[in-house]
Chain A
Amino acid sequence: MGVPTAGRPAGRFARPTIKGMTDQAVRVRGLRKSYRDTIAVDGLDLDIPHGEVRALLGPNGAGKTTTVEILEGHRERDAGEVSVLGVDPGRGGLAWRREIGIVLQATADAGELTVAEIVRHVARYFPRSRGLDETLELVGLSEKRDSRVRKLSGGQRRRLDVGLGIVGRPRLLFLDEPTTGFDPVARRQFWSVVRGLEDTTILLTTHYLDEAEALADHVTVIAAGRVVAEGAPASLGERDVATVSWRDGAERTTDPAAVVARLTASYGGPVPGLSVTRPSLEDVYLDLIGGAR
């Protein structure tokens, strides 16, 4: 049984904008949320097209979790327009919930149940859920189906959370800091799980820039409740501009090969002290959030 993508009444979700874009999975305009005297989200805009993996990056207290919780329908907003799969999350009913998968930050529930019991239970709520075997296979927990959840390692527990997030075949999946506390091997395993989820729109929040780079089609950096940059991981914040430096100078360019060729020609051979560097995503990120602080 496949996910009926083609049969979906696209018109119902269509939200034509000035640019003529239609059918975003997530559309946010001017989102605001304050707690007492702290402003958590301060006029945030966000567009996520269907099928995209989007990473939401930002320092602690930037408003990531608040934003995600509003999109999940777990929190009310003060102002702004929010549409998630064409529905206002504040009024999303059960039909809307069936289209959405949520992987919360660090969970500790269902400790006394077995992996199979909790996966089967969660599957019941969805009309076209994945089978138990398929779900466990996807998250690499087939061997653990009869283990008590509390006996799983941190990485296994997290993969179970993802399993519970995807067992209902959601069109949109929220992953909130999914790999915090993982060892490198567990993270790689987790990434391959996420990569295997084709046709699913994913909103991922993370502190790990390599994770965003490995998984996301698009990155949105937020700081102090606003979007400070948006783009593909490879080109975010002028990351596509390389610096060519050599003994006698330096030059910033989008085409370092051409610069090197020119230099080679002018030196008539090897360029002394030549190096070509690009800022890492981390450099760019620290720059971006530093500017907003």
Chain B
Amino acid sequence: MTVVSLGAARAGIELRQFWRERDAVVFTFALPIVLLTLLGSLFSGVYEGSTVTSAQYLVPSMIAAGVASTTFVNLGIGIATDRDDGTLKRLRGLPMPPLAYLIGKVLLVVAVTVLEVVLIVGIGIVLFDLSLPSSPARWLTFAWVFGLGVVACGLLGVAAGALPRTARSAAAVLNLPYVVLGFISGIYYTPVGALPDWVIQLGSVFPLKWMAQGFRSAFLPDSILPQEVVPSWEHGRTALVLAAWCIGGLVLCLTTFRWSRRG
């Protein structure tokens, strides 16, 4: 058995467990979709000087929130649970290359995240009349923001998986930072430019704000720029912050990952 085929087998196990675990599906997969549907239906109005509705503005931001949920929250809860229920200990006692476990988690996250994004975009198109990115350049933007966002949030999720003491507390421990970041990154409170300065500055430290901004730049016309914090998509800065979190997340993972429970 090669590492790759064992990793694929791990992915099969991970996917089955994910879909059969109702809590996980509700918390990490359905929540962003439900929130988008609700908030999108509540918000109304068109931003001045553009054709973008409040709901359309919300959709790319919710893609970012969905990605953070299926990567950061999902991996954090998943790894804390694997540690608490003995999955990691069992795997460590098997002739399993650790890389196979990692490959399994990566494939799980990629599969669930892609499905999440497809559903959010689909809801945006069907319910809120969202248009797909209008040029190859915008698709390219979408692709690199997605890639960097998944890697950064995924690595941070693996690192955060070391925090909860038990599987039961994992959902609470992971969802608190996630929900707080959702607010201070201008996801639920729109537009981001309307947030108080200190909140924006705080939110700008974390990857979610930049991911959301990057996705808006891919889906929304430039006429919405006055609603942003600065009237520019700041692609260079977005790439820089997300890449920095990839590196920081990797360092955190390598320093905090534990196979066994504390104590």
Q: How far is the CA of A148 from the CA of B20 in the complex (A)?
A: 10
Question: Is A125 in contact with B94, judged by CB distance below 8 angstroms?
Answer: yes
Question: Is B1 in contact with A107, judged by CB distance below 8 angstroms?
Answer: no
Question: Is A97 in contact with B86, judged by CB distance below 8 angstroms?
Answer: no
Question: Is B6 in contact with A74, judged by CB distance below 8 angstroms?
Answer: no
Question: Is A124 in contact with B9, judged by CB distance below 8 angstroms?
Answer: yes
A–B pairs, 14, beta carbons within 8 Å: A73-B93, A74-B93, A74-B260, A94-B95, A104-B93, A107-B89, A109-B82, A109-B86, A110-B17, A112-B16, A113-B13, A113-B17, A122-B94, A168-B94
Which B residues are in CB contact (< 8 Å) with A97? 93-95
Contact (A117, B90) CB under 8 Å given A74-B260, A97-B95, A108-B85: no
Q: How far is the CA of A94 from the CA of B99 in the complex (A)?
A: 13
Contact (A125, B6) CB under 8 Å given A94-B95, A104-B93: yes
Interface flag for A111 (CB, 8 Å): yes
Interface majority SS (helix, strand, loop, mixed), chain A = loop
- Residue interface mask B1-31, A partner, CB < 8 A = 1: 1000010010001001100110000000000
- Residue interface mask A121-140, B partner, CB < 8 A = 1: 11011100000000000000
Binding site for B on A (CB under 8 A): 72-74, 94-95, 97-98, 100, 102, 104, 107-113, 117-118, 121-122, 124-126, 148, 164, 168
Question: Is B1 in contact with A121, judged by CB distance below 8 angstroms?
Answer: no
Which B residues are in CB contact (< 8 Å) with A111? 85
Question: Is B87 in contact with A110, judged by CB distance below 8 angstroms?
Answer: yes
Question: Is B90 in contact with A94, judged by CB distance below 8 angstroms?
Answer: no
Question: Is B93 in contact with A117, judged by CB distance below 8 angstroms?
Answer: no
Q: Give the Cβ gap from A20 to chain B, nearest Cβ, in Å.
A: 33
Instruction: With CB as the reference atom, state the residue of chain B lying closest to A92.
Output: B95
Contact (A121, B9) CB under 8 Å given A74-B92, A109-B86, A109-B90: yes
Q: Give the Cβ gap from B111 to chain A, nearest Cβ, in Å.
A: 17
Counted as pairs of residues, one from A and one from B, with CB atoms less than 8 Å apart, the total is 62
Contact (A98, B95) CB under 8 Å given A108-B85, A111-B85: yes
Interface flag for B221 (CB, 8 Å): no
- Residue interface mask B44-74, A partner, CB < 8 A = 1: 0000000000000000000000000000000
Question: Is B13 in contact with A107, judged by CB distance below 8 angstroms?
Answer: no
Q: Give the Cβ gap from B36 to chain A, nearest Cβ, in Å.
A: 27
Interface flag for B96 (CB, 8 Å): yes
Contact (A125, B96) CB under 8 Å given A108-B85, A112-B20: yes
Q: Give the Cβ gap from B205 to chain A, nearest Cβ, in Å.
A: 36
Question: Is B13 in contact with A117, judged by CB distance below 8 angstroms?
Answer: yes
Interface flag for B97 (CB, 8 Å): yes
Q: Give the Cβ gap from A272 to chain B, nearest Cβ, in Å.
A: 60
Q: How far is the CA of A51 from the CA of B97 in the complex (A)?
A: 28
Which A residues are in CB contact (< 8 Å) with B93? 72-74, 97, 100, 102, 104
Which A residues are in CB contact (< 8 Å) with B21? 112
Which B residues are in CB contact (< 8 Å) with A122? 94
Most chain B C-beta atoms within 10 Å of own C-beta, residue among A95, A111, A118: A111
Q: Give the Cβ gap from B200 to chain A, nearest Cβ, in Å.
A: 41
Interface residues of B in 111-139 (CB under 8 A from A): none
Question: Can you add 20 more A-B contacts, CB < 8 Å, to A104-B93, A113-B16, A168-B95?
Answer: A94-B95, A94-B96, A97-B93, A98-B95, A100-B93, A102-B90, A108-B85, A109-B85, A109-B87, A110-B87, A112-B21, A113-B13, A113-B20, A121-B9, A124-B1, A125-B94, A125-B96, A126-B95, A148-B20, A164-B90
